Structure 1
Amino acid sequence: MRGLDDFLAECELGPRINELSCFFAATAAGKSGMPIRKPAADIRLLPNEDLLRSLVALHAARQGHFDQHYHGSIPYRLEEECRMAHAVLKYARRRGILLSLYSLGTAEGTMARTLSELSNGQIRTLSCSPNPENYECFLGYGEPAHAEFFVGPFHRVSKAVLDSDARLRQFVSGFDFILEDTTFQMYSPNRAKQIEYVTQHLKQDGIFVFVEKFRRRDEFEYRRRELQKDHGFKARYFDREEIEKKQADVLDTMFGNEVTLAQMTEAIRLQFKYCAMTWNSGNFYSLAASNAKENLSLYLSQMEAPAIPHEYVYDVSLPRDPADDVVSEQIR
């Protein structure tokens, strides 16, 4: 119990809800950090498939303020979010059962509510954010059916909290999918405890997807990828002053809470038998982990090829331990 108390206290001191809180509040409200144009998924990189095109269109129609900032900041993250949501939709259809998804860190929960809406309730979702401004955007297109929102940071979502709320009680038995989207790095580098804490909400055969920015032992290579991101992609949406301001106000603080891919792999291995890398964009990666090999394999088989130009993809290796029976899905 003492270990849990220490972890929760550590989270309460995290930059996300302290020194960075003003940045996130202003951006979520659309008062600052807005791109000069709204990012749009490059459909040339995505298959011409009806369900995927419907998802891309609905996702674009439901976006709020922070999503625009986020998708203008990370190369081809918008396309990847649509690719991942498309795979979840197809996974749900293949299994033919009601699924639940918990998204921590996706601001106004655009992807989650899009999944709930497009699946007609086959996928029920919960999103969380510390910012009430994100909740306002979540409700901006009306209160969505089968999609819920918790106003608060991820570490305040416990089974007791879920059970005490009539709207959230449906999720007490756990989630089939959990998505952590660049959230942990806003609090601390304690990935082992962060993953352990959130995994309490995952069903035994569920899938945990992580989207994180990883530091590198080679600092020059890390910085080179950052320059490519800033000058090759972000410059389409933000002027130089805005990019430099975010670097000073946010990214330098966030860097202190980033971990290496190897460290993340070790933390994942404490909870999961199987893990696959599904996406890479510069210093950003997406990993999918589970203790149910068949479910993870099914999810991976539903994914289209990554919608990202090759020049942003640096790593097609897998975070694997030869002693483990690791599911393999390389970036094509």
Structure 2
Amino acid sequence: MRGLDGFLAECDRGPRINELKDFFAATAAGQSGVPIRKPAVDTRLLPGDDLLRGLVGLHAARQGFFDQHYHGSIPYRLEEECRMAYAVLKYARYHEVPLSLYSLGTAEGTMARTLSELSGGKIRSLSCSPNAENYKCFVAYGEPPAAEFFVGPFHRLTKDVLSSDVRLAKFASGFDFILEDTTFQMYSPNRVKQIEFVMQHLKEGGIFLFVEKFRAVDENDYKRREWQKDFGFKARYFPQDEIEKKKDAVLKIMFNNEVTLGEMFHAAGAHFNHCVMTWNSGNFCSLAASNNRENLNLYLSQMADPAIPNEYVYETSLYQANTDYAAALQQK
């Protein structure tokens, strides 16, 4: 990767491990940001089969402090995490050899660990976080044989680090799935370089999943969606003064590193032939990208319908617009 030293220095200056370091440490340790009730999946919005019920149950049992804060903060993000995990779990059934998943930014790695446990090792996972507090939650239920954890920021996990660590060497050949969960926006708006760096770990034909908060083209739209999130959902789990405190201490800093959906699709298009939006909740969206259309379509075909009330969904037209964009990129 060209310009690696400059990119690493840029990440080292990122708010995630500087201005916001104390916030993430305290939240991951359960010292602050604890919701007044534990978020729970609204099972009415998801399919009712046994596989998914087992996944939802184990996921709930493995959650740590930060996950509870996170899922109480974003409307129906918990349902979406289970929906994504369900699709990966079903995707793995089509492969004779174990799949590998790298999750950078899912705090204590609940989704990754749940997939490794529930699949009986058919999905091997690696989670990554700069916080030792998250690792403490990860091992609170014992160390699962098929799930690993790297304590450190994503930009310090290189191929050399993977190869030189006895526990992580099995991942040196790359991952079938990579999930970036609201991580890039905590460092910088440099999505092209961030994706390029992490892609060193993606197998040929692998699938890159993104969950991010995006700027709106119209700033007033962004604000209205934030109000809906805060008063229509987040107030179920946090007092109003705590919501305002986080807005001032964290969200204003994070906003500087957010990008628009158009910018994100442009960044993804620099590396992938195919990229589609799979979920939207206010200012948050999930994207799935790959250079293998067959693999991407198989993943998409395993997804249940988005588990979210329609009033939180705004970006319904993006799927067609961006499949057209991907097709145009292939013709260049």
TM-score tier by shorter-chain length is: over 0.9
Q: Distance in 1 between matches of 2:145 and 2:216?
A: 42
Q: How does 1:135-214 map to 2 (within 5 A)?
A: 135-214=135-214
Q: Which amino acid aligns with 1:115?
A: L
Gaps of 5+ in 1: 327-332
2:19 corresponds to 1:22:
no
2:317 corresponds to 1:322:
no
Query: Is the alpha carbon distance of 1:2 and 1:205 closer, same or farther for their aligned partners in structure 2, counting shifts above 3 Å?
Result: closer
2:305 corresponds to 1:298:
no
Aligned to 1:128: 128
Q: What is the CA-CA distance between 1:61 and the residue it aligns to?
A: 0.2
- Identity of paired residues, percent? 73
Query: Is the alpha carbon distance of 1:323 and 1:258 closer, same or farther for their aligned partners in structure 2, counting shifts above 3 Å?
Result: closer
Query: Is the alpha carbon distance of 1:72 and 1:323 closer, same or farther for their aligned partners in structure 2, counting shifts above 3 Å?
Result: closer
Q: What is the CA-CA distance between 1:321 and the residue it aligns to?
A: 6.0
Aligned to 1:329: none
Q: Distance in 1 between matches of 2:2 and 2:177?
A: 29
Q: Distance in 1 between matches of 2:56 and 2:85?
A: 10
Aligned to 2:247: 247
Q: How does 1:108-123 map to 2 (within 5 A)?
A: 108-123=108-123
Aligned to 1:231: 231
Q: What TM-score do you get using the length of structure 1 for normalisation?
A: 0.97
Gaps of 5+ in 2: none
Q: Which amino acid aligns with 2:211?
A: V
Q: What is the CA-CA distance between 1:293 and the residue it aligns to?
A: 0.5
Q: Distance in 2 between matches of 1:217 and 1:305?
A: 26
Aligned to 2:266: 266
Checking the alignment, whether the CA contact within 8 Å between 2:276 and 2:323 is kept in structure 1 is no
Task: Let me know the Cα RMSD of the aligned residues.
Answer: 1.1
Q: What is the CA-CA distance between 1:94 and the residue it aligns to?
A: 1.9
Aligned to 2:280: 280
Helix, strand or coil at the partner of 2:93: helix
Q: Distance in 2 between matches of 1:292 and 1:8?
A: 29
Q: What is the CA-CA distance between 1:257 and the residue it aligns to?
A: 0.2
Q: What TM-score do you get using the length of structure 2 for normalisation?
A: 0.97
CA offsets, 1:126-177, max 9 Å, x none? 0000000000000000111100000000000000000010100000100000
Query: Is the alpha carbon distance of 1:146 and 1:321 closer, same or farther for their aligned partners in structure 2, counting shifts above 3 Å?
Result: closer
Q: What is the CA-CA distance between 1:97 and the residue it aligns to?
A: 2.4
The ranges of structure 1 where at least 4 consecutive aligned residues each deviate by more than 6 angstroms after the TM superposition are none
Q: What is the CA-CA distance between 1:216 and the residue it aligns to?
A: 1.3
Helix, strand or coil at the partner of 2:94: helix
Q: What is the CA-CA distance between 1:217 and the residue it aligns to?
A: 2.2
Query: Is the alpha carbon distance of 1:72 and 1:2 closer, same or farther for their aligned partners in structure 2, counting shifts above 3 Å?
Result: same
Q: Which amino acid aligns with 1:325?
A: A
Q: Distance in 2 between matches of 1:88 and 1:325?
A: 25
Q: Distance in 1 between matches of 2:203 and 2:129?
A: 22
Query: Is the alpha carbon distance of 1:57 and 1:4 closer, same or farther for their aligned partners in structure 2, counting shifts above 3 Å?
Result: same
Checking the alignment, whether the CA contact within 8 Å between 2:182 and 2:211 is kept in structure 1 is yes
Q: What is the CA-CA distance between 1:2 and the residue it aligns to?
A: 6.2
Q: Distance in 2 between matches of 1:320 and 1:110?
A: 30
Q: Distance in 2 between matches of 1:288 and 1:185?
A: 17
Q: What is the CA-CA distance between 1:323 and the residue it aligns to?
A: 6.0
Checking the alignment, whether the CA contact within 8 Å between 2:182 and 2:212 is kept in structure 1 is yes
Q: Distance in 2 between matches of 1:322 and 1:309?
A: 27
Checking the alignment, whether the CA contact within 8 Å between 2:278 and 2:288 is kept in structure 1 is yes
